[in-house]
Chain A
Amino acid sequence: MTEPASAELTVETIEEKLQKFLESRTKQTWDPDADLFKLGVVSSLFAMELVVFVESTFGVFVEGPDLVLDNFRTVRSMSALVMRLRPGDPGA
């Protein structure tokens, strides 16, 4: 499942994959800026599924101070996280 460290990983392709996963699990569509947790549709346990999905789909490790709920709050915040952490990026 792990994506090779590819230069083709763009914000658009990342967000598309995230939206597809979210739709399959919540049976609703999500705008990139919609707060996933605000309406209680998404539980904290599901947040952990999201963490694992992001890691395995985009080949990144989300650890330490990056592993914070705010980074998973919206599709946009997740794509920003992936862009920052993806392989080849020296990161924080």
Chain B
Amino acid sequence: MIPVLDELATLLTETAADAAEGWDLAGEIPVDVLRGLGAKGVLCAEVRPEFGGLGLSGLDNGRLAAHANSLCGSLRSVMTSQGMAAWTIQRFGTRALREEYLSRLTGGALAAVAFSEADAGSDLSAMTTEVRRDGDDMIVDGVKTWITAAAYADLVVVFGRHEGGGAVAVVPVTAPGVRVEPVPSPMGCRAAGHSTVVLDSVRVPPQNVLAVPGQSLTLLTSIALTYGRLSVAWGCVGILRACLAAAAGHARTREQFGTPLARHQLVARHLTDLYAAERIATQMCEHASRAWDGRSPGLVMDAILAKYVAAGNAARGAASAVQVLASAGARDGHVVARAYRDAKLMEIIEGSTEICQLTLAEHALAVAS
């Protein structure tokens, strides 16, 4: 690890290691903690220094996400949203917008990213949120569901329809017509601030809307989601690392039938499976992040593949870890209990397991000769 990554990892450990369980049980991370991390640039560490960011490579930013998730899945979720918001603004924003908002996102302001709606989950093409012109302003109208970090956010990056194509609007939550309603009791990543975001004819200045004639909604969402997929995939690596550490530590010390659990072969197999799951996920993520950093066109499919493999491995690995700890881990808030709940949700977001399978099958059909 290069020194800056080491320092950032230490900062996250100091902030979250002892607090994560309490955040999960309370369903909330103190917003000042998030703002503090945000102001240090940690929440979107890939933003370039010219915009106030730390300028981490994709690979190092991924490693940071893994470390965050080994401590707290909710904190990593907030990082994914902040990073995806910054990435979207960096890719699609005008220079003026980039300068204004990227410096805010590295200066303590918090952001969420809104694609999903009640009737547009896996099928984002069914999105009905509308971005329309009204005189000198733009108006955003729609209801977004399950928006990670929205409960903490100052800004919501909203994807919607615009003149037959797609557009992205950067909406301050203080704008009249914005309502943020937290999801009661999410099953996992409980402190990530998931919320419904109601946008009732919200008026925003036109420079906050990235609307170019001929833009495709799917190009917008797929570019934004590629960042998100990599971040979630790395988060799953962190889940697996936390589970492996907990399961190995427990199996080493807990004795039944006169011998440490690890000496029972069926338990040892759980450890093998967890170890293999973590190694495979790590290598898939490293491969995809190198493609990202090297700007190789393969990165698009590599990111989907990494997310697919890592999320599946995390869900199975977390189940193994709970099995190995048994009653010792069967308490809400325990690291393996959190991992078990959080990991299952990783198979749903940023392209569910099934949607990844369909995409990867199409890709296999196209490239296999």
Q: Which A residues lie at the B interface, using CB under 8 A?
A: 1, 21, 25-27, 37, 43-53, 55-56, 63-65, 67-70, 73
CA distance A35 to B356 in the complex (A): 27
Contact A45 B214 (CB under 8 A): no
Task: Encode contact with A along B83-113: 1 for CB under 8 Å, 0 otherwise.
Answer: 0000000111111001000000000000000
Contact A52 B366 (CB under 8 A): no
Q: Verify if B362 is at the interface (C-beta below 8 Å from A).
A: yes
Candidates B95, B98, B222; contact of A48 at CB < 8 Å: B222
Residue numbers in B under 8 Å from A43 (CB-CB): 362
Could you pull out 26 A-B pairs where Cβ atoms are within 8 angstroms? A21-B297, A25-B366, A26-B366, A44-B216, A44-B219, A44-B222, A45-B222, A45-B301, A45-B304, A47-B216, A47-B219, A47-B222, A48-B219, A48-B226, A52-B296, A52-B300, A56-B295, A63-B92, A63-B93, A64-B98, A65-B212, A67-B219, A69-B165, A69-B214, A69-B219, A70-B213
Q: Which of B320-360 contact A (CB under 8 A)?
A: 359
Contact A52 B215 (CB under 8 A): no
Known contacts A47-B216, A48-B222, A52-B300; decide if A67 and B92 are in contact (CB<8 Å): yes
Q: How far is the CB of B81 from chain A (nearest CB, A)?
A: 20
Known contacts A25-B366, A47-B219, A69-B216; decide if A64 and B93 are in contact (CB<8 Å): yes
Q: Verify if B253 is at the interface (C-beta below 8 Å from A).
A: no
CA distance A65 to B95 in the complex (A): 10
Q: Verify if B259 is at the interface (C-beta below 8 Å from A).
A: no
Q: How many A-B residue pairs have CB under 8 A?
A: 76
Residue numbers in A under 8 Å from B223 (CB-CB): 48, 51, 67
Closest to B292 in A: A52
Closest to A42 in B: B366
Residue numbers in A under 8 Å from B91 (CB-CB): 63-64, 67
Candidates B165, B297, B366; contact of A53 at CB < 8 Å: B297
CA distance A90 to B223 in the complex (A): 26
